[in-house]
Structure 1
Amino acid sequence: MEGEPYYHFKHRGTRQKALSRHWGWNMRLTKEPKVLWFEQQTVKKRTKRSVSVVPTDPWFHKQWYMNNDIDPDLNILTAWSKGYTGLGVVLTVLDDGIEKDHPELSANYDPLASYDFNSNDPDPQPRYTTRDENRHGTRCAGEVAAAANNRICGAGVAYNAKVGGVRMLDGPITDMVEAQSLSLRPQHIHIYSASWGPEDDGKTVDGPGVLAAEAFYRGVTKGRGGLGSIFIWASGNGGLNYDNCNCDGYANSIYTLSVGSVLAGGQRPWYGEGCSAILTTTYSSRTTSEVQIVTTDLHHRCTDKHTGTSASAPLAAGMIALALEANPALTWRDLQHLVIRTSKPAHLQAEDWAVNGVGRKVSHHYGYGLLDAGLLVEMAKAWAGTQPQRRCSVKTLHAPRNIGSKLTISTDISSCSGRTKRIRSLEHVQVQLSLSYSRRGDLVIALTSPMGTTSTLVTVRPWAVTPGPPLLQPIRHQPAGLQGLDLHVHTLLGREPQRDLDAPAREQGRCLQHRSAGQLHPAPPRHRRGHDGQALCSLCRGRVHQAGCAGSVRGVRQLFVRLPALLPVLLPSALLRPYPESRRHERSPRLCQLPPLLLHVPGRFGQQLHGLSPHLHL
């Protein structure tokens, strides 16, 4: 030992691992007058007092998205190995309630993070039905905070976090109900996870009301002692309907952190929406098996069939909980910065990956890429914080303009570089646009930065036939230059209304009854953003899946068919997209046979064409 009169000697004549003391040398040292004390060293057994980061739960081997079964996964094990499991973080799931006595949730259940705004009582227990349709909240909660090492199901991403539930989707949903849910105990709850929104039908444009918008603002300005409440939002499941999450005022709010989905192989799921509001992405299912996301289910059961963006958002919420444990002082804006910096394009496949002005790759389908929990907690620990938020508003259009077929508006925003409103770096861009047009779904609106980054704010939505202004409050981390912004408005002309075309069933919209061809029956609207296989009508569920096309026709945008009267009718590209059950056709010849259709041309044409089966050769 340094500074002390102790010495360590080794003798070549003795064995290092002897079972007994060497009596000869011990006797000699005992007789040595200058040696005050000695002791022959022996090997001792010692064990490291660390807990294994791999949970022993029986279904953990099914949690492919965080057990290193795929590469890359969400890197949860690395975050756990650093000691972060969500301890001290409180999260609530805004949904249809949670089964608080579930053996996977009861140990982490927090009654102060729970309430029932449908029945106005403190108990968020879901209402049980024969179809178990109120299981959504319980499934989302289990992804985040299911207990680990208890020999039940799997483990939550933040398995030591406290979790609560708000029952608010199982009854009349009003602006007041949403506002009360979003503002429940903001000094106690850190994270609000929401996997719902306006209908993902490809035509709805909706967002928070006055009270809910105020709840968002008060949450980020006053929640968590002024650091800001964290709102995690699922981007939406309207991909089959060509929905765009910028038309969802919850997902595209600057106060929410929108999460998209990707399949294990890096492909876009058929239900995934794209928009400039998405910041990050997590997994939702595998492409090579039926295994999806493992979580808790009603009646104290487990499931491995949870999927959709409903499954992706809670995974991100759990990773945010790990980051807050690593650094509880993070603000809501800090977390957006960290999520951007710790999301990687990896193997995510999309045609629109682009490098923005600060050198980061970004996509409308995945935001900045796949979220990495290990990197997130590491950066969160050392994060120094962001500068106070500043705002600068510029009026671009001072007089009404005629769109025609294309309209480009450019503006100089150098005023935002002045001393009083100086913007050094750009976090969010919000565009407020009012316009009138015959078909809202024909509009394409894009924003281009001075350094060439294009954010598409509204895409073509074939089912949006209602006139009216789109709701535009996109969120996108833009480059630092502020010389000017260009706003582009494009229209598609000469298209026939598609409400006269009876199409096959779509996941969240309608169901085609085969017994009476051409008759549409509405399916119950679903605000929840999970895809658990029950959204399709039971009558035609199997037949619709058999009508899927070969996967080789992905990317075909539209097909024109001419009737005898030479009237062009646009078949929506939903008909040309394969359903999930059609994966077995992925390597089939490049031929797609559409299902028989009933085309009805109303008005003066008065013609019907029965049993049309067009073939598309590519």
Structure 2
Amino acid sequence: CKLPSHSRTSLASNPTLLILFRLHMDREVYTNTWAVHIEGGPQEANRIARKHGFINHGNVSSTAVHPVEPLYCLVSWLRRKKRDDYNEPSDPKFPQQWYLSNPSEADLNARGAWSQGYTGRGVVVTILDDGIEKDHPDLASNYDPDASYDVNDGDSDPQPRYTQRNENRHGTRCAGEVAAAANNDVCGVGVAYNAKIGGVRMLDGEVTDVVEAHSLSLNSQHIHIYSASWGPEDDGKTVDGPAKLAKEAFLRGVTEGRGGLGSIFVWASGNGGREKDSCNCDGYTNSIYTLSISSTTQYGMVPWYSEACSSTLATTFSSGNPNEKQIVTTDLRQKCTDTHTGTSASAPLAAGIIALALEANMNLTWRDMQHLVVRTSHPAHLSTDDWRTNGVGRKVSHSYGYGLLDAGAMVVLAQNWTSVGPQHQCVLTMLSEPRDIGSRLLFSKTLDSCWGRPEYVNSLEHVQARLTLSYNHRGNLAIHLISPLGTRSTLLAPRPKDYSPEGFIDWAFMTTHMWDEDPRGEWTLEIENVSEQGHDYGVLSQFTLILYGTGSSSINPSSPDFPRPSNNSCKTFDTQQICIECSLGFSLFLQGCVKLCPPGFTTGPQLLNMSLDNWVDLSSVQSCLPCHPACLTCSGPGPSDCLSCPPHSHLVLTACLHQNQVQRNITTTTFLFQSPTWV
């Protein structure tokens, strides 16, 4: 049976299903492994396997890794492209590691973490790539066999395959950035030079959904951080992401990994800048489960290879123009290099910094870590023309996310961090009927962010716009999402090389730019055709908005103490018998009247357009008004009317300041002589 070209795997109720993939060569091949879905558990699976002459290698979703068998005709392989492009350590190359400690220019402030005693001890990181040279003199002392596996050949040895051109050096280079040992007279140091490091050899062979799923779920109760510097082709025309099993591995990782705290997946944002690619068309970096990292150059410029998109969370250093320095790390054949490049080099640096923060607080969840990144990253000294201030006052960019990671600030904030509440997911169907896109489509809708339901969100983290649309020339589209607080996020920038007529099918565009905003209010989706020809056409047929975040613990609509709106005290009804004004001593709330407004609201006047038959007037009625997003409870609707603050904020007089705003002042004072001088 032939699957659609975008399919990677499929599950059926019998073991004779053939998984089809497309090899990048112009021939099709079979594999003699199958992924099947069987009800009845392992015993039933073994029975069916024996009956048909198969060997059952176990549950694909388990942490066991299955062997990869020889090839036969017909499987279409996924294309996955590597993304190359105290006492200070005494290692000979450490003075050249300008991005870790640089007294005269911006750096990642690794010294700020090291000086507090955090070096990654007790944290396990694995590199999902083409293998790791486990006997490299700068990696051997930190190598962890329990964080390693060769998925390509189905054995426990992740040693790279050596070739004349050394093309399988990628994983070893990334590993050294994280955990190259310190003070051993070899090369330089890793950001977390006492962390344990492993490698999964999974790119040096055919990459299928099964291969990816195994790699992402390897030993998830032992490994803390998975670092990946690969993805679909960065060619400016591909729209691709994880298939069924890999998606399940991500979800299982964040819900079950690390004893339920969640595996941390760090991902390189992509090297398609020259092709004007968008990392929001990459389903790995575009996932809420990955911490997507972009690059900046030695001088704080956007590199030529960098992709801009709204899913990027933060930035580390990497290569730039020929006159700018690159990254120092371990290399194949027990060597050292100072020419590691691309966003490939940025993600492992972030993984190392995250390891430092995790050492400072091993109870951090996968979402806690993203909160730390948002709150401690620095926008200063990174040059781009798209810095914007979002609805809670943070600067954010499509090129850099929230800015440059700061290891010192991360560990300080991590030490006393209180875990965020459970993730709420508010799913809202926005479109009732298809809309013609034409040259420009504007669609707006006012939302209550699932108010009154358990999934209520009043403080955002990730936002997804799941779109299904047809368009005859996909690359001419630009898509923007505007939050109630006015934050405009580009979900898709034009891609001149994308001539596809396929449009998008339930593609989840993700943005992090509204982090901590209150989502209640009017949301606007804007789709525009940037072509000057004006002959393109298409239809938006589905738009689902998914709000991820937290709901205030003090606002519990199911609580018996929560006020229940009633019409008993209503003074005026409109023509549809909806209450629009309450009697004296009561306030309008949810089309009814309450004596006391619930937590998160305050009493105040609200203008109301009252229409009674032919009489229209603007009246001011006593209503329950929502507190400002910065406040938990309040005496008025303004940002300086706070009575109490949400988690990770502090009440200063009558205003709530985010924890990082207070913490940065403490950090500056405490580490004045250790911090870099910013220029």
Q: Which TM-score applies when normalising by structure 1?
A: 0.71
- Counterpart amino acid of residue 512 in structure 2: R
- Counterpart amino acid of residue 400 in structure 2: Y
**Aligned residue among 496, 509, 520 for 1:482:** 520
Give a deviation string over 1:156-190, Cα, whole Å, max 9, x none. Answer: 00000000000000100000000000000000000
- Partner of residue 610, structure 1: none
TM-fit CA distance, 1:285: 2.6
1:335 pairs with 2:379: no
Structure 1 residues 155 and 98, CA gap change in structure 2 (3 angstroms): same
**Aligned residue among 191, 200, 204 for 1:157:** 191
Q: CA separation in 1, counterparts of 2:316 and 2:167?
A: 24
- Counterpart amino acid of residue 68 in structure 1: N
TM-fit CA distance, 1:420: 3.1
- Partner of residue 124, structure 2: 90
Q: Is the 8 A contact 2:236 2:496 kept in 1?
A: yes
TM-fit CA distance, 1:287: 5.4
1:207 pairs with 2:245: no
**Aligned residue among 519, 523, 529 for 1:491:** 529
Q: CA separation in 1, counterparts of 2:414 and 2:281?
A: 32
TM-fit CA distance, 1:424: 1.9
Q: CA separation in 2, counterparts of 1:72 and 1:310?
A: 20
Structure 1 unaligned residues grouped into runs of 5+: 1-51, 498-618
Range that drifts further, 62-71 or 422-431: 62-71
Q: CA separation in 1, counterparts of 2:104 and 2:317?
A: 11
- Partner of residue 307, structure 1: 341
Structure 1 residues 134 and 495, CA gap change in structure 2 (3 angstroms): farther
- Partner of residue 203, structure 2: 169
**Aligned residue among 83, 96, 100 for 1:66:** 100
Structure 1 residues 53 and 403, CA gap change in structure 2 (3 angstroms): same
> What are the residue-to-residue correspondences of 1:387-426 with 2, within 5 Å?
387-426=421-460
- Partner of residue 91, structure 2: 57
Determine helix, strand or coil for the equivalent of 1:394.
Answer: strand
Q: CA separation in 2, counterparts of 1:200 and 1:76?
A: 31
Structure 1 residues 441 and 287, CA gap change in structure 2 (3 angstroms): closer
> What are the residue-to-residue correspondences of 1:126-145 with 2, within 5 Å?
126-145=160-179
- Partner of residue 449, structure 1: 483
Q: Is the 8 A contact 2:284 2:290 kept in 1?
A: yes
Q: CA separation in 1, counterparts of 2:113 and 2:449?
A: 43
Q: CA separation in 2, counterparts of 1:122 and 1:496?
A: 57
> What are the residue-to-residue correspondences of 1:256-335 with 2, within 5 Å?
256-285=290-319, 289-335=323-369
**Aligned residue among 230, 250, 254 for 1:216:** 250
**Aligned residue among 181, 194, 201 for 1:147:** 181
Structure 1 residues 213 and 58, CA gap change in structure 2 (3 angstroms): same
Structure 1 residues 286 and 198, CA gap change in structure 2 (3 angstroms): closer
- Counterpart amino acid of residue 439 in structure 1: H
Q: CA separation in 2, counterparts of 1:496 and 1:102?
A: 58
TM-fit CA distance, 1:242: 0.3
Q: CA separation in 2, counterparts of 1:141 and 1:69?
A: 26
Range that drifts further, 67-76 or 218-227: 67-76
Q: Is the 8 A contact 1:70 1:264 kept in 2?
A: no
1:240 pairs with 2:274: yes
> What are the residue-to-residue correspondences of 1:175-190 with 2, within 5 Å?
175-190=209-224
1:472 pairs with 2:508: yes
> What are the residue-to-residue correspondences of 1:590-601 with 2, within 5 Å?
none
Q: Is the 8 A contact 2:210 2:246 kept in 1?
A: yes
Structure 2 unaligned residues grouped into runs of 5+: 1-85, 536-679
Q: CA separation in 1, counterparts of 2:299 and 2:425?
A: 40
Give a deviation string over 1:77-118, Cα, whole Å, max 9, x none. Answer: 110000000000000000000100000000000000000111
Determine helix, strand or coil for the equivalent of 1:392.
Answer: strand
Give a deviation string over 1:437-471, Cα, whole Å, max 9, x none. Answer: 10110110110001110111111000000112343
Q: CA separation in 2, counterparts of 1:457 and 1:120?
A: 39
Give a deviation string over 1:392-434, Cα, whole Å, max 9, x none. Answer: 1111111111110000111121152324332120011111100
- Partner of residue 504, structure 1: none
Q: Is the 8 A contact 1:94 1:192 kept in 2?
A: yes
Determine helix, strand or coil for the equivalent of 1:451.
Answer: coil
Q: CA separation in 1, counterparts of 2:206 and 2:332?
A: 22
Q: What is the RMSD computed on CA atoms of the aligned residues?
A: 1.4
Determine helix, strand or coil for the equivalent of 2:230.
Answer: coil
Percent identity over paired residues: 63
Q: CA separation in 2, counterparts of 1:481 and 1:251?
A: 23
- Partner of residue 546, structure 2: none
1:197 pairs with 2:247: no
Q: CA separation in 2, counterparts of 1:415 and 1:299?
A: 55
TM-fit CA distance, 1:217: 0.2
Range that drifts further, 281-290 or 84-93: 281-290
Determine helix, strand or coil for the equivalent of 1:436.
Answer: strand
Give a deviation string over 1:26-82, Cα, whole Å, max 9, x none. Answer: xxxxxxxxxxxxxxxxxxxxxxxxxx4310000001000012244221000110000
- Counterpart amino acid of residue 509 in structure 2: Q
- Partner of residue 549, structure 1: none
- Counterpart amino acid of residue 410 in structure 1: S
- Partner of residue 500, structure 1: none
Q: Is the 8 A contact 1:264 1:287 kept in 2?
A: no
TM-fit CA distance, 1:380: 0.3
Range that drifts further, 408-417 or 77-86: 408-417
Aligned residues: 446
Range that drifts further, 465-474 or 294-303: 465-474
- Counterpart amino acid of residue 461 in structure 1: R
Give a deviation string over 1:460-496, Cα, whole Å, max 9, x none. Answer: 0000001123433313141224212110000133559
- Counterpart amino acid of residue 134 in structure 2: K
Q: Is the 8 A contact 1:57 1:152 kept in 2?
A: yes
> What are the residue-to-residue correspondences of 1:97-108 with 2, within 5 Å?
97-108=131-142
Q: Is the 8 A contact 1:280 1:343 kept in 2?
A: yes
Determine helix, strand or coil for the equivalent of 2:523.
Answer: strand
Q: CA separation in 2, counterparts of 1:475 and 1:492?
A: 21
Q: CA separation in 2, counterparts of 1:474 and 1:132?
A: 36
> What are the residue-to-residue correspondences of 1:512-591 with 2, within 5 Å?
none
Q: CA separation in 2, counterparts of 1:149 and 1:472?
A: 46
Larger radius of gyration: 1
1:251 pairs with 2:275: no
- Counterpart amino acid of residue 179 in structure 1: A
Q: CA separation in 2, counterparts of 1:332 and 1:477?
A: 18
Determine helix, strand or coil for the equivalent of 2:425.
Answer: coil
Determine helix, strand or coil for the equivalent of 1:427.
Answer: strand
Q: Is the 8 A contact 2:439 2:534 kept in 1?
A: no
- Counterpart amino acid of residue 322 in structure 1: L
Q: CA separation in 1, counterparts of 2:406 and 2:458?
A: 27
Determine helix, strand or coil for the equivalent of 1:473.
Answer: strand
- Partner of residue 344, structure 1: 378
